[in-house]
Structure 1
Amino acid sequence: MSGDLKSEIAPPPLLETRNLTRILPAVVPVTLVEDISMSVGAAEFVAITGPSGSGKSSLLYLLGLLDRPTSGEVLIGGRKTHDLSKSDHAQLRLEKIGFVFQFHFLLPEFTALENVMIPMQKLGALSASNQKDRAAGLLEALGLADFLHRRPAQLSGGQRQRVAVARALANAPDLILADEPTGSLDSAATEQVFASLQTIVEEQQTTVVAVTHDMDIAGRMQRRIHLVDGKIDYDRDQ
């Protein structure tokens, strides 16, 4: 009986917050995020939307362990993170989370291939040859097979952002967090990057949580969490 019950226990959510609050200390404290409780499972494609100043990016930074909450907590795969050290946070990010930002932040002196290899080099789980093979495979899957050895300045905006997506996938994370990943792109490049993220969810079963102002993009994602004044206004499937 105990074995049967154990097998029926659902795994913890991939990502969970409990009463998450972030307040900037000041003469007049500023509340960025207030009392947010939510969970995100495997292979979800989630948009975080809301007006400017509603706390979207602040929430994403808390989810990605790039900032610490004033109160409440973030759990990754059921693991509490609030009391972890900076080095443990960094290791957890390296193993479990990939990031894509509005601006690609590729290192200009390195090729696309070398940029994608950087997270793998930091983690150190693969040999140099396997790192190179994986980086090339990720870039090829994103339509960049002919651009492996080009530096960022030799790529278009959409191509640079797809390199950033490949870099986010380097260590096979369970979760990709994207902050306005199409915000600086034209419509054609936006479609390319959106299609890349959608493919990641559908084919690799990787969860993507993306902050976006683009309501067309948000409307095509599976779920929307809408913030107003740092609080969840609604959270619904689409």
Structure 2
Amino acid sequence: MAQRIKVASYNIHKGVGTDRQRDPARILKVLQEVDADIVCLQEADLRFGKRTSVLPPFLIASHTDYVPVPLDVQHDSMGWHGNAILVKNGITVESHDIIHIPCLEPRGVVTATLGIGSAQVSVFGMHLDLSGLWRVRQARAIATLADSARSDRPTMLMGDLNEWRANSGCFREFGKHFSVLDPGPSFPSRRPLGRLDRIMHSDQLKATGCGVHRSPLATTASDHLPVWAELSIG
């Protein structure tokens, strides 16, 4: 029987909403609305100082059934250059890593191999550069690594690609190896125009649905809306 999972990607803008208030609990409520099994977050840590996690561990533990993938990079951070992965209780973390990519701005990629029932999947979470030239270089490097992972197990990639062009730039690089889903406009959250947040998957996975989660709470909680996809393994 095919294993079905729901995944999501969400740029939480360091917990600062469109009302300019930082409210981590509001972000967690949006995640509860989306109710995905696996979530890739962007801008999950503060940018300066100790780069502390925007979402305090005690809030995650007490208000959700998510567990952060332990990237073991910085003591007070949850992610790597703001990228983090949350998984529902019951999903096992088989391995995890951080990936250095070519960059103009501080950028990185996080990855994990996860056990879901009898299946294993690889997940890559990313936030690409504002520069189109660097985005293409980053996409090429990430796609090469993810293409290697998909030879062993189903693979998905998620994040804020910062790509405004519909079918060119970094989408062309990812599209050489993966199916690129288009959930719809997700930025800015109050009046979405840009399809910046994307989910991609290898051919071992079948997408049965995807979309943008737009609720009154999500419209205020961040400048991006979460995107989601339902996938079938096998």
Which bracket does the TM-score occupy, shorter chain normalised? 0.3 to 0.5
* Larger Rg, first or second structure (1 or 2): 1
Q: Which has the higher strand share?
A: 2
Q: Which has the higher helix share?
A: 1
Report the TM-score, using the length of structure 1 for normalisation: 0.38
